[in-house]
Chains A and B, each alone.
Chain A
């Protein structure tokens, strides 16, 4: 079954999610990658606070263009690898009252702790589905640090509609990534030890 969610998301809604749930997310979210996370931890900027409260951070460096009226449009916008934000993520979630993180590949124990403590989940988007996800971005509301960080690293404030996601780390300490790693490692070990 698919669960529909819209930002702002309450802590209760988030705590009801479990790993393996399929979600269609709508509402305002914010893209942030490496430089943005570093900034949020080191300088705690206020400009992004209203957009992140009870909302979602998206690990994404989009391809964008300006239309004939001078408005930004997303052209291709799939997730990037989340592991690079592991040192920062939990701090960002706590500082800005974030309810979810979208990315790919999952995150580590520090983030898992943060999700549990503050009431947030990790949503996995389909890596490589750049055009499809860009089509679900209805509007670009604002952009911050574009000059300084460049297109992929800027904070893009976007409104999405039915962004397809899977919950792979929930607010109860469960991680699909950990489960698959353990299972596949066991199979790999058996294969390697089999003498063929």
Chain B
């Protein structure tokens, strides 16, 4: 398979085929809700939609999001080659209705119609020592992007200081403020430390973890479990209709901070958590969730 076609297939899978770990946790959430409640009906609709989209190869959600790529490539690889392949695949995926045109110029207001634009798709490049290429793709919906937030600790309104206790408070606040607006139940990515830009970036990169995959740091792993349990006590429920599942999972990442700053970035991913990975080795392409 040519590189550009491999990218097209990656985009198709991301837009139409929800990862099995996400589908499984949605199924569990369905089983937990009481019969004849709006929450139960929402989960039933979601699960039916996921199956239909996979079968028909049509977008799970019409907001096919912004495309964010993370590429790790071996020495000798050319960024230009990957970029060209991605641009071709993006235009073709739009022509085939795997993607909705979602790239708008903020000055002219014009939609490019093909999902290309300045920094669109956005590509994070990273060269590594392995002899294979790894491409990770996140389709990030706009509604859920709008409910993300960044806090600067200390945060006096909540009496939140510069420690995990303070982080816990602002995360509860962020998810409460999001209500159902990010298409709950969401998956929460949290970035601790860094500058304002890298903090958000770290929070988003957490979305390449699988549901239930805890941080390797035992303290952060415990913290993730605590937050998951507490956030689900908010009873915001799917779509904000009330219910037992408000978030599907919580992922926390940390990085060094400047002594004067302590940022907590909270990224919200809608229930339609669309991520796919592709590995290319010796010309062989392998897709993964």
From A60, A81, A131, B59 is in contact (CB under 8 Å) with A131
Q: Which single residue of chain A is at the shortest CB-CB distance from B95?
A: A65
The docked-state distance in angstroms from the alpha carbon of A185 to that of B173 is 9
Contact A184–B172 (Cβ < 8 Å): no
Stretch from B72-80, B197-205, B232-240, B279-287 contacting the other chain: B232-240
The docked-state distance in angstroms from the alpha carbon of A61 to that of B45 is 19
Stretch from B50-58, B83-91, B116-124, B126-134 contacting the other chain: B50-58
- Which residues on the B side are within 8 Å of A150 (C-beta)? 101, 111, 113
The docked-state distance in angstroms from the alpha carbon of A63 to that of B99 is 8
Q: Does B165 contact A (CB under 8 A)?
A: yes
The minimal Cβ–Cβ distance linking B225 to chain A, given in whole angstroms, is: 13
Using known A-B contacts A131-B58, A150-B101, determine if residue A81 contacts B181 with beta carbons closer than 8 Å: yes
Q: What string of 1s and 0s marks CB contacts (under 8 Å) between A159-196 and chain B?
A: 00000101010000000110011011101100110011
Q: Does A130 contact B (CB under 8 A)?
A: yes
Stretch from A4-12, A45-53, A90-98, A120-128 contacting the other chain: A120-128
Contact B62–A130 (Cβ < 8 Å): yes
Q: Does B248 contact A (CB under 8 A)?
A: no
B interface, size bucket: 35 or more
The minimal Cβ–Cβ distance linking A135 to chain B, given in whole angstroms, is: 6
The minimal Cβ–Cβ distance linking A32 to chain B, given in whole angstroms, is: 15
Q: What string of 1s and 0s marks CB contacts (under 8 Å) between A113-153 and chain B?
A: 00000000000101111111111000000000000001110
- Which residues on the A side are within 8 Å of B49 (C-beta)? 126, 128-133
Contact A127–B143 (Cβ < 8 Å): yes
The docked-state distance in angstroms from the alpha carbon of A196 to that of B164 is 10
Contact A168–B62 (Cβ < 8 Å): no
Contact B143–A80 (Cβ < 8 Å): yes
Q: Which chain A residues in 50-97 approach chain B with CB under 8 Å?
A: 60-65, 75-78, 80-81, 83
The docked-state distance in angstroms from the alpha carbon of A196 to that of B222 is 13
Q: Which single residue of chain A is at the shortest CB-CB distance from B237?
A: A180
The minimal Cβ–Cβ distance linking A14 to chain B, given in whole angstroms, is: 19
- Which residues on the A side are within 8 Å of B230 (C-beta)? 191
The docked-state distance in angstroms from the alpha carbon of A83 to that of B142 is 14
- Which residues on the B side are within 8 Å of A27 (C-beta)? none
Contact B61–A164 (Cβ < 8 Å): no
The minimal Cβ–Cβ distance linking B124 to chain A, given in whole angstroms, is: 25
Q: Does B154 contact A (CB under 8 A)?
A: no
Contact A187–B234 (Cβ < 8 Å): yes
Binding site for A on B (CB under 8 A): 38, 41-42, 45-46, 48-49, 52-53, 56, 58-64, 97, 99-101, 111, 113, 141, 143, 146, 158-159, 165, 168-169, 172-173, 175-176, 179-181, 183, 226, 230, 233-237, 239-242, 270-272
